[in-house]
Structure 1
Amino acid sequence: MKQSIAESVSENDSWFFDASHLASQLLGDSIGSNLFVVGYAFQLGLIPISEDALLKAIELNGVAIDFNQRAFILGRWAAHDMDKLSELIKEEKPEFIPQDLDKLIEHRIKFLSDYQDASYADQYRHMVDRVYRAEKELGTGSQELTKSVAHVLAKLMAYKDEYEVARLYSQPDFKKKLDEQFEGNYKLSFHLAPPLLSEKEPKTGHLIKKEYGPWVLKTFNMLAKLKGLRGSKFDIFGKTEERKQERALISEYKGVIEEICQNLNADNLKLAIRIADLPRDIRGYGHVKEKAIREVKAKEATLLDEFRNHKPHQVAAQ
């Protein structure tokens, strides 16, 4: 896409940046990317309208006036000095997940209870407690391995399947955010690729997304209530290869962590943390996720081999 645009308007007349990410970090909502891009273009002299007129238009529109005006100004700043703006994100990026270990575990247990149920969250608690005890026995004062497992295991256990997508869209906060940003009779559409319903691209085998109307929200409300079927024999979505792979990742990770706990010592602790951290690199969906899993598994095999053959450092007696 970048190449096509550059060829059409020339490289000197095209600019590329992740407006959604910048807006999310600076404003707390990716929807600010719209006015952010307008501000960026304005700063480059590409919009033949005065700043006063643009700000007045935002005011007259009457929707999230302060938010949209800030987005416009930040977009101008990005065009002027993107590096400086990036520094601001690093310095002031809000951290929504607690870093204190006890609060982190508590936060993830609540999330997994909402995601599935209390029993599912207890599985997470049991595994994290196992790591905590093993790391504490080293007497090093380190909690880094436990923190790593607390983050990664929750990420793997909360894979975003059809039930979770439905739950997120069914929450009152979703509709509330829309009403804060839009007015009038706006219409929703959803671009989805349900594994059981979607066609595949002949050459790549990737699922093809289709547009669905607002009626799908009723389906989401119903599907969200069926999350208890997840992983059971009645889970029709769980029979796809992607879902089987996601469940296998959880089981395999627990196995790796159990092996680490049984052989953990002060000398191989840093190596253990590197292994425990690997699944953080598993991102995306479909073929993108499959590629990431292959890469992570290759690294894991190498590091596990090193872990298994690692010999504790011995100090010779004088």
Structure 2
Amino acid sequence: RAAHDRAAVEKLIAPADDKVVPFARPSKTLDELVAARIEHLTKYQDAALAERYRALVDKVRAAEHKTGETGLALAAARNYAKLLAYKDEYEVARLYSDSAFQAAIKRQFEGDYTIRFHLAPPLLASRDPKTGHLVKHAFGPWMMPVFKVLAKLKGLRGTAFDLFGYTAERRTERALIGEYEALVNELLRELSPANHPLAVKLASLPDEIRGYGHIKDASIEKTRRRQAEMLHQWRNAETLRIAAE
């Protein structure tokens, strides 16, 4: 038998305690949510990334507190963490090489079984001649040692030595982080009780990004269009307010 579904595997290795599940959606306070994301981002990369996350969320929290409203800091805490911890090769390797993965597999399968991973690494995978989409290929259990080595190289993520970082997909994911930071800073400059609901909607847009590969690309394009429309509304409302003063 073969065990190879990545989404199912990630679900299997998630701990039962929802406090440490990276992006589960239980009912949490803002502080609980931030603490869980900081823990995950530290494992995902390092303490510096976690601190970058904390700094932006604290900035949003402080600005929102002045309006007397709630919800924006929570939206930023969820969506900024999602963008920072994009699923790249290092993260996939970290998840698969985690001891929890082996334990989960043993709980689910008995007797003899073979693990096969269906992956489409951008640097290695071929493309479908009709659609141009990356084609997944099956990789055997020999990938486990590779995952362990790759997971230890996560410090290269985003640096000049990150070979995976030069692909279009990874460049887009990094760009989304910068775009979100710029968006939040713009929202905070003119945040008020009147425009707070729209600010929450804008800060929540990354939640609409789904999937991998070409599916994610289409989702990003759609989300960027929605953001442009909503930002037009945001900026025009501010222009009208200034003109009326």
Q: Give the TM-score normalised by the residue count of structure 2.
A: 0.87
Question: Do residues 132 (structure 1) and 51 (structure 2) align?
Answer: no
Which one-letter code corresponds to 2:204 in the other structure? D
Find the counterpart in structure 1 of residue 119 from structure 2.
192
Following TM superposition, where does structure 1 have runs of at least 4 consecutive aligned residues deviating by more than 4 angstroms? Answer: 95-98
Tell me, in whole angstroms, the C-alpha distance in 2 between the residues paired with 1:217 and 1:292.
Answer: 31
Find the counterpart in structure 2 of residue 122 from structure 1.
51
- What per-residue deviation string (whole Å, max 9, x for no partner) do you get for residues 231-279 of structure 1? 0000000000000000000000100000001110110000100111111
- What per-residue deviation string (whole Å, max 9, x for no partner) do you get for residues 59-110 of structure 1? xxxxxxxxxxxxxxxxxxxxxxxxxxxxxxxxxxxx6655200010011001
Q: Helix, strand or coil for the counterpart of 1:208? A: coil
Gaps of 5+ in 2: 1-6, 14-23
Tell me, in whole angstroms, the C-alpha distance in 2 between the residues paired with 1:243 and 1:108.
Answer: 21
Percent identity between matched residues is 47
Q: Helix, strand or coil for the counterpart of 2:115? A: coil
Find the counterpart in structure 2 of residue 244 from structure 1.
171
Find the counterpart in structure 2 of residue 77 from structure 1.
none
Shift of 1:181: 1.7
| Larger Cα-atom Rg | 1
Kept after mapping to 2: 8 A contact 1:242/1:286: yes
Shift of 1:205: 1.0
Tell me, in whole angstroms, the C-alpha distance in 1 between the residues paired with 2:201 and 2:102.
Answer: 40
Which one-letter code corresponds to 1:281 in the other structure? E
- What per-residue deviation string (whole Å, max 9, x for no partner) do you get for residues 3-25 of structure 1? xxxxxxxxxxxxxxxxxx9x99x
Shift of 1:310: 1.4
Kept after mapping to 1: 8 A contact 2:12/2:101: no
Find the counterpart in structure 1 of residue 107 from structure 2.
180
Question: Do residues 111 (structure 1) and 40 (structure 2) align?
Answer: yes
Tell me, in whole angstroms, the C-alpha distance in 1 between the residues paired with 2:26 and 2:145.
Answer: 31
Give the number of aligned pairs.
Answer: 224
Question: Do residues 297 (structure 1) and 224 (structure 2) align?
Answer: yes
Shift of 1:186: 1.3
Shift of 1:185: 2.4
Give the superposed CA RMSD.
Answer: 2.1
Tell me, in whole angstroms, the C-alpha distance in 2 between the residues paired with 1:143 and 1:125.
Answer: 18
Kept after mapping to 2: 8 A contact 1:190/1:213: yes
Q: Give the TM-score normalised by the residue count of structure 1.
A: 0.67
Tell me, in whole angstroms, the C-alpha distance in 2 between the residues paired with 1:237 and 1:284.
Answer: 18
